[in-house]
């Protein structure tokens, strides 16, 4: 077995008396796609927020590339090599599509410099264009982001994450709110991305997850109840018990 | 701030679909503003009004860096404006410091105060931030009121009239309003250049990103709090410079310069002109002071007119005069 | 320094705090429900004081002023919500803030036009003049009355929030506005009433404060800053926080006035700065909201 890229050791998160997540232990190998599933309120978003530094765990430790990163401020995560997308589209609405991605790339070059010209940093323009090409948005380069269609905004968000050249990509419901056609395009995009990086994704669309993932984790009431290959998960009696009959389950 | 579109802040450089005229306007914005400032005293009814537009336009420009470009609605910028004015006045009047050193001192004191207030207020977000900056600036106001042996308390600071400026052996008659205007304009021009520099820089892109979507900017790898603090301090430095210019101009510092009503006036000017646009704040200061000038001819209650106009702008023209003009031109 | 003096000063802090509670509660209720910080709150406090003064001088009785002014200004508050603030709900949170600041500016000037720029003395109603000997010291009867009125209002508010259907809606709505939509409640009507209630409370604070202070057009500007300090210390949107912080600030001001008078206007800001450093969401605020 390869050394894990990411491992979490017994992590949990409480909000006052409410336990959102408890005792999660798992490690993730490089270049695999892992899906996190579970009914609404199972703790999927909390899990993602812990992995991307939005929240600090109230218990346990997170290790990335062998280093303990528990409690690292959120803005450091991008520099470690972890990038994410959000469940609700999270872009820079008034900026152009290109500028959305360019400013994300700039975080690795220049953050506080006031003496240079931003337009002179042409290598950032190239990086941004490459990321836009990867998600198929080259043609929309000059448009204001808020005027894009929903599916294109989701793709833009992935381009923003991609331009950081992350080793670990966390995608929170990348197809949320998409119709069948847009979903299909997104799945194709994710398949291309999966070839060369580690992806964790939260999703509800089971068909898509079964086709895309190497491994599935199932959360329920803040606990990890199953962890294994898609076939294994489909056969798991406990998963079937909590999941079947849930309207948002096998959509 | 959430990802929701702020209707106030719109119309920024580096925007989508930038047309030729707009790119040229951005490239030439500093020389153009300096040209406009050079002509200003000859276009306005009085030289005193021109100096006022210069001083308040500069405060609004400094404020706009924070409000229009970083998306932070501070209600405490009177503190930095006032601190610059008081520090300059005290340095000249009580310590006999040469005028140029006093200007530098005023900027330094105002900037340091902005750093401290920024450090505290940036711990809060959204609407809270506005309340905290207002309250902290009132702390400065009441401190100045109490420390009357330094500041003159309620009567304001007096006794530091600068009649002549010595610059490299030249002596300029500072009581001549035209000469005074152009001396002060040199400082304002330098500040405008600095603001334009910041907006063109990579840091300028960072603060715009923070205004647009703080959460996203943080996820992209930007230390949002630190960037906000830098923007807050830079903005405070420019307001402090405007304060020192105001002190040199008036030769008194009224206590009210520190009151949050002054902060509110700065906010109003910035919004009237157009927050988040380079020329907007000066246009706003000009519009505000012209309104004051004209309305006070027939009533001393000019504030009721200005306040009503401001309310109408928030309701119907939130992009301000200049911002609306830009949007209208871009829409054609 | 003898104990009697300290007790009297402590009490005068409580009376000051009681007024602050009225103002801060209104601010907090409006914010909690509507997400709007009302920058005209201080101006409406001042308008409340003038309205009380005017009604009292028309009727010759303080009591009519105390009753009618808060109701009338509360109704005026509803008009403000309906005409000026409602169009802004879908916009940035900064817009209502800017608008109410402009409104405060206009209100102050309007009062100057109608009542003049100079302060007007408002004498304590004769029934409430004088001092009472409570065994531990002499206390001005009017201040006892103010504390009593505020205590009654707090009790009524508490009952209203805990025991009535409207209170239930308000509490649920403050936690999660979505719930009201799901339940099919007319949010617009609830917001209108809540805004009116918040303004009515600050106007009542204004009438109650009038005999203790000089009534002048600028009296609202200090109160606004004080109310912000109280809200920041107590925690935005927390009603308990507003009450505790209001008393805390009132007592802190009056005790400092006793021991170090020159620091009295500064102490509350120092308190606020301390709270911001230690607990940015305020004493009773929920983290994340700050």
Question: Which residue stretches of A163-229 are H helix?
Answer: 180-194, 206-212
Give A-chain residues touching B202 at CB under 8 angstroms: 106, 109-111, 113-114, 116, 118, 121
| CA distance to partner chain A, nearest, from residue B153 (Å) | 39
| CA distance to partner chain B, nearest, from residue C285 (Å) | 12
pLDDT tens sequence across B265-277:
999 999 999 999 9
CA distances B122 to B126, B229, C54, Å, are 10, 7, 43
Phi, psi for B16 (deg, rounded to 5): -65, 150
- A121 vs B10, B17, B202: nearest CB: B202
Beta-carbon neighbour count of residue A144 at 10 Å?
18
Nearest CA in chain C to B317: C95
Q: What is the mean pLDDT of residues A80-96?
A: 93
| CA distance to partner chain A, nearest, from residue B1 (Å) | 12
A223 SS3 class:
strand
| CA distance to partner chain A, nearest, from residue B307 (Å) | 29
State the angle between helix axes of B29-43 and B20-27 in degrees (0 to 180), rounded to the nearest 10. 70
Q: Write out the DSSP string of B197-257.
A: HHHHSHHHHHHHHHHH-HHHHHHTT--HHHHHHHHHHHHHHHHHHHHHHHHHHHS-B-GGG
> So what's the pLDDT on residue B12?
42
Q: C218 and chain B: CB distance < 8 Å anywhere?
A: no
Please say if the pLDDT value at position A46 is more than 70: yes
pLDDT tens sequence across C69-117:
999 999 999 999 999 999 998 888 899 999 999 999 999 999 999 999 9
Give A-chain residues touching B214 at CB under 8 angstroms: none
Judge contact between A131 and A162, C-beta under 8 A. Answer: yes
Superfamily of domain A1-75+205-251: P-loop containing nucleotide triphosphate hydrolases (3.40.50.300)
CA distances C109 to A190, B134, B167, B312, Å, are 62, 21, 45, 17
Judge contact between A31 and A213, C-beta under 8 A. Answer: no
What are the structural domain ranges in chain A? Answer: 1-75+205-251
| CA distance to partner chain C, nearest, from residue B257 (Å) | 15
Is C187 or C194 the better-scoring residue by pLDDT? Answer: C194
pTM over 0.90: yes
Tell me whether residues C84 and B6 touch, CB distance under 8 A. Answer: no
Q: C103 and chain B: CB distance < 8 Å anywhere?
A: yes
What are the structural domain ranges in chain C? Answer: 3-222
A20 SS3 class:
strand
What are the structural domain ranges in chain B? Answer: 41-260
> So what's the pLDDT on residue A247?
42
Give A-chain residues touching B9 at CB under 8 angstroms: 94
Binding-face residues of C in 115-144 toward B, CB within 8 A: none
Band (pLDDT 50/70/90 cuts) for residue C287 is: low
Distance CA C73, CA C51 (A): 8
Question: Which residue stretches of chain B are H helix?
Answer: 20-27, 29-43, 47-64, 78-95, 99-121, 126-146, 148-151, 177-200, 202-212, 214-219, 224-250, 260-273, 280-295, 302-316, 320-331
Distance CA A159, CA A192 (A): 13
Most B-contacting residue of A55, A89, A107, A147 (CB-CB within 10 A), to test interface:
A107
Q: What is the mean pLDDT of residues B111-137?
A: 92
Assembly ipTM:
0.92
Binding-face residues of B in 145-204 toward A, CB within 8 A: 197-198, 200-204
Q: C95 and chain B: CB distance < 8 Å anywhere?
A: yes
> So what's the pLDDT on residue A95?
95
Classify residue A251 by its DSSP letter.
Answer: -
- The top-scoring range by mean pLDDT among B120-124, B125-129, B264-268 is B264-268
Sorted by sequence, the CB contacts under 8 Å of residue C128 that are 6+ apart come out as: C62, C141, C142, C145, C211
Band (pLDDT 50/70/90 cuts) for residue B126 is: confident
User: What is the radius of gyration, based on Cα positions, of chain A?
Assistant: 18
Distance CA A217, CA A44 (A): 10
Tell me whether residues C94 and B268 touch, CB distance under 8 A. Answer: no
Beta-carbon neighbour count of residue C136 at 10 Å?
12
> So what's the pLDDT on residue B6?
38
Judge contact between B243 and B232, C-beta under 8 A. Answer: no
B173 SS3 class:
strand
Distance CA B176, CA A159 (A): 59
Least confident of B210-214, B277-281, C263-267: C263-267
pLDDT tens sequence across B57-80:
999 999 999 999 999 999 999 999
Q: Which chains touch C (3 or more CB pairs under 8 A)?
A: B
How many residues belong to chain A? Answer: 251
Tell me whether residues B139 and C280 touch, CB distance under 8 A. Answer: no
pLDDT tens sequence across C245-280:
999 999 999 999 999 888 888 999 989 988 988 888
């Amino acid at each position: 077995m390869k050394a894990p890229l990411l491992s979490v050791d017994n992590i949990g998160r409480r909000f006052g008396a409410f336990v959102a997540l408890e005792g999660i232990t798992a490690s993730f190998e490089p270049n695999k796609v892992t899906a996190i599933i579970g009914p609404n309120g199972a703790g999927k978003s909390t899990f993602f927020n812990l992995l991307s530094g939005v929240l600090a765990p109230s218990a346990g430790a997170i290790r990335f590339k062998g280093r303990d990163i528990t409690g690292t401020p959120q803005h450091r995560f991008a520099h470690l090599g972890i990038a994410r997308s959000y469940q609700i589209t999270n872009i820079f609405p008034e900026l152009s599509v290109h500028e959305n991605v360019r400013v994300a790339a700039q975080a690795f070059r220049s953050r506080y410099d006031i003496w240079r010209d931003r337009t002179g940093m042409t290598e950032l323009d190239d990086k941004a264009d490459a990321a836009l090409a990867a998600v198929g948005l080259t043609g929309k380069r000059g448009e204001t982001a808020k005027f894009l269609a929903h599916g294109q905004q989701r793709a833009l968000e992935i381009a923003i994450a991609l331009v950081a050249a992350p080793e670990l990509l966390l995608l929170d419901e990348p197809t949320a709110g998409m119709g069948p056609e847009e979903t299909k395009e997104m799945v194709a995009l994710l398949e291309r991305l999966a070839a060369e990086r580690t992806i964790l994704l939260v999703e509800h669309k089971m068909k898509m997850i079964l086709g895309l993932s190497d491994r599935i984790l199932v959360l329920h009431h803040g606990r990890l109840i199953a962890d294994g290959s898609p076939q294994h998960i489909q056969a798991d009696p406990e998963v079937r018990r909590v999941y079947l009959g849930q309207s948002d389950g096998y959509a | 701030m959430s990802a929701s579109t702020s209707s106030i802040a719109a119309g920024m450089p580096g925007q989508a679909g930038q047309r030729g005229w707009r790119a040229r306007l951005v490239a030439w914005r500093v020389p153009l503003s300096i040209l406009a400032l050079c002509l200003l005293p000859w276009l306005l009814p009085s030289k005193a009004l021109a100096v006022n537009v210069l001083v308040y336009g500069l405060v609004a420009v400094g404020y706009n860096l924070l409000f229009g470009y970083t998306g932070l609605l501070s209600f405490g910028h009177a503190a930095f404006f006032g601190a610059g004015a008081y520090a300059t006045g005290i340095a000249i009047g009580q310590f006999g410091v040469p005028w140029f050193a006093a200007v530098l001192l005023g900027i330094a004191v105002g900037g340091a105060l902005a750093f401290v207030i920024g450090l505290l207020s940036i711990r809060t977000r959204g609407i809270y931030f506005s309340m905290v900056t207002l309250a902290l600036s009132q702390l400065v106001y009441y401190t100045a009121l109490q420390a009357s042996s330094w500041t003159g308390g309620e009567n304001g600071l007096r006794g530091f009239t600068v009649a002549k400026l010595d610059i490299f052996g030249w002596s300029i008659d500072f009581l001549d309003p035209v000469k005074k205007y152009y001396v002060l304009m040199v400082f304002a021009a330098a500040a405008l250049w600095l603001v334009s520099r910041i907006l063109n820089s990579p840091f300028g892109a960072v603060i715009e990103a923070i205004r647009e979507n703080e959460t996203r900017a943080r996820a992209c790898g930007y230390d949002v709090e630190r960037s906000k603090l830098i923007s807050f301090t830079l903005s405070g430095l420019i307001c402090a410079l405007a304060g020192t210019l105001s002190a040199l101009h008036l030769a008194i510092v009224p206590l009210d310069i520190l009151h949050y009503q002054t902060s509110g006036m700065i906010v109003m000017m910035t919004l009237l002109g157009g927050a988040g646009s380079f020329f907007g704040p000066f246009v706003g200061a000009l519009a505000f002071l012209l309104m004051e000038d004209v309305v006070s001819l027939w009533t001393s209650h000019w504030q009721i007119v200005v306040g009503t106009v401001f309310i109408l702008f928030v309701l119907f023209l939130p992009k301000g005069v200049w911002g609306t003009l830009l949007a209208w031109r871009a829409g054609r | 320094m003898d104990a009697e003096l300290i007790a009297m000063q402590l009490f005068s802090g409580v009376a000051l705090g009681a007024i602050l509670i009225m103002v801060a509660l209104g601010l907090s209720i409006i914010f909690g429900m509507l997400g709007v910080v009302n920058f005209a709150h201080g101006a409406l406090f001042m308008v409340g004081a003038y309205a009380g003064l005017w009604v009292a001088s028309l009727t010759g009785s303080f009591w009519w002023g105390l009753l009618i002014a808060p109701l009338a200004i509360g109704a005026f508050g509803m008009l403000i919500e309906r005409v000026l603030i409602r169009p802004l709900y879908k916009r940035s949170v900064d817009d209502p803030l800017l608008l109410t600041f402009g409104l405060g500016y206009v209100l102050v000037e309007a009062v100057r036009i109608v009542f003049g720029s100079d302060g007007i003395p408002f004498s304590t109603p004769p029934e409430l003049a004088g001092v009472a000997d409570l065994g531990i010291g002499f206390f001005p009867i009017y201040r006892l009355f103010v504390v009593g009125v505020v205590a009654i209002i707090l009790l009524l508010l508490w009952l209203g929030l805990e025991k009535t259907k409207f209170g239930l809606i308000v509490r649920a709505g403050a936690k999660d506005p979505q719930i009201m939509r799901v339940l099919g409640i007319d949010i617009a009507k609830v917001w209108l009433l809540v805004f009116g209630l918040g303004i009515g409370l600050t106007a009542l604070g204004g009438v109650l404060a009038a005999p203790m202070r000089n009534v002048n057009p600028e009296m609202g500007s200090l109160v606004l800053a004080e109310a912000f300090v109280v809200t920041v210390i107590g925690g935005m949107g927390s009603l308990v926080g507003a009450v505790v912080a209001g008393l805390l600030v009132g007592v802190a001001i009056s005790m400092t006035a006793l021991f170090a008078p020159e620091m009295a206007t500064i102490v509350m800001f120092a308190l606020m700065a301390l709270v911001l450093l230690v607990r940015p969401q305020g004493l009773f605020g929920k983290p994340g909201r700050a």
